Amino acid sequence: MLVNTEKMIPVGKLQKELTQKLREVSETGEPLYVLRNNEMAAVILSADEYELLKQAEDILEHVEIAETVEKRLKGYNRSKNIPWEKIKKRHGI
């Protein structure tokens, strides 16, 4: 992952400049990378960017579900279906 080093900030400095940095993230849409002990600890995203990521996650989940359904349907044999009425009768429902 390539990270713009100008968008990195130590957590101590972020504590002092939080309001300003949040405004910058919100206005520019650029993420802010928070460092703790010179290692990336967190990423602050704009609300719009976060929403896009959540939508992408939902889409990927639907694609995975569709692939699973497609895979299962390949071996599906409709002639082996058991009618619901027969199951209820068998179990006294």
* Displacement of CA 91 from its chain's centroid (Å): 42
Task: Give the amino acid at 5.
Answer: T
Residue 85 — pLDDT band, cuts 50, 70, 90?
very high
Residue 66 — pLDDT band, cuts 50, 70, 90?
very high
Which is more confident, 20 or 7? 20
* Displacement of CA 15 from its chain's centroid (Å): 27
The Cα 86–Cα 89 span in angstroms is 5
The Cα 71–Cα 69 span in angstroms is 5
5-74 carries CATH number 3.40.1620.10: yes
The Cα 69–Cα 22 span in angstroms is 42
